[in-house]
Structure 1
């Protein structure tokens, strides 16, 4: 079983988002089970569970893990093909985000578009590497930092931009024969709290303007402010 896999097909995405099928995926990610075993857990007749399992299997979201005899019946034990799933923007190809259409380093929505493109591209690379039976060379760095002040955050952004820019200029070889292009994405955003606050508690708070609405002139990226 894979740790995570990307769903690119629109029909497979629709199947995975069905509440009952999503519950079945969660159960099968925990371990193989038959339709009869799942029926009691999800509160549905075995025949109904079988129907949903066949839909999931048809789209490659579950697979046969084995069979066992139970009386005069042979039960099929199914398992999820991954512990978790990510839906690629390719599943909504006609309306997928395009970071090149709107570039704004201070926009959370542009950051979201970059993230969506990252999911799309890496998902496509994973699929291609699996079909070719090759390993995919990637690297990711994840960490957290607490800034004492907006000024410190702005200084960090400035140094980060200068440092990454220097590395790009040092190693970029656009004319290298046999070289391969790589995309670099660096993001800085507030850490999401474990639990979302009660929306009613925020009714009297000031709300930042949405992207596209009127807002004060933005400072350059190295001078982020609260």
Structure 2
């Protein structure tokens, strides 16, 4: 089972977003049969079977063997991932994307930040699925931390220093001459933590994530 799968197909997205089928995906982080799920959710087995067939048709669950119960053999299913994210690609032409001609004002807008995040999900999600099929590793890197600014002026100064530091590193390591080099996309976003949400790592070292399979 993968940690996360990105849903790109519109029909699969509609299937997964149904409240009952979403609950079934959560229940199927561990293998289970239709009768067991029906008992847990207090629903008829026929109804559970109908929704399980739809999930299986769209590749969201898969067979996990058979087990004997009460003199009968029951087919067990399991989710293909522990969690799912719907890719903006599922929306086709309506998907959000960052403007290629973004101005400084655009970069300070929520729409631009959301567009950047959507592009990360779409691009990395597609490449991650291909990497799983090929049994290869995808060279990615993630950095996450939280910071509390004392004033808007501090936030503006931080943004300026961060931009300067990133540009310096890009200038240092950018190489268009090496034949085997590969383009990498660097995305940085800063946004407020929603009220009531624990910011996690705060005022300390950033947490890192390296290559992912």
Pairwise TM-score range, normalised by the shorter structure: 0.7 to 0.9
- Describe the superposition over 1:25-68 as per-residue Cα deviations: whole angstroms up to 9, x where unpaired: 11112x21110011122222111111111111111111112211
Q: Distance in 2 between matches of 1:193 and 1:102?
A: 32
The one of 163, 170, 174 aligned to 1:161:
163
- Describe the superposition over 1:100-131 as per-residue Cα deviations: whole angstroms up to 9, x where unpaired: 25621111111001100010000011011112
Counterpart residue number, 1:85: 84
Q: Distance in 1 between matches of 2:39 and 2:70?
A: 19
* Superposition pairs of residues 46-195 of structure 1, within 5 angstroms: 46-100=45-99, 103=102, 104-194=106-196
- Describe the superposition over 1:133-191 as per-residue Cα deviations: whole angstroms up to 9, x where unpaired: 11111100000001111111111111100000000011111232111000000111111
Give the root-mean-square deviation of aligned CA atoms.
1.3
Shift of 1:72: 4.1
- Describe the superposition over 1:170-226 as per-residue Cα deviations: whole angstroms up to 9, x where unpaired: 11112321110000001111112236xxxxxxxxxxxxxxxxxxxxxxxxxxxxxxx
Runs of 4+ in 1 over 3 A off after TM superposition: none
Structure 1 runs not aligned, ≥5 long = 196-226
Counterpart residue number, 1:2: 2
Q: 2:63, 2:77 within 8 Å by CA — same for their partners in 1?
A: yes
Q: State the number of aligned residues.
A: 194
Q: 1:102, 1:110 within 8 Å by CA — same for their partners in 2?
A: no
Shift of 1:70: 2.0
Q: Distance in 2 between matches of 1:52 and 1:28?
A: 13
With structure 2 as the length reference, what TM-score do the two structures score?
0.87
Structure 2 runs not aligned, ≥5 long = 198-213
Q: 2:99, 2:112 within 8 Å by CA — same for their partners in 1?
A: no
Equivalent position SS for 2:59: coil
User: Which has more strand, going by share of residues?
Assistant: 2
Equivalent position SS for 2:142: coil
Counterpart residue number, 1:34: 33
Could you say which structure has the greater relative contact order, defined with CA pairs below 8 angstroms and 6 or more residues apart?
2
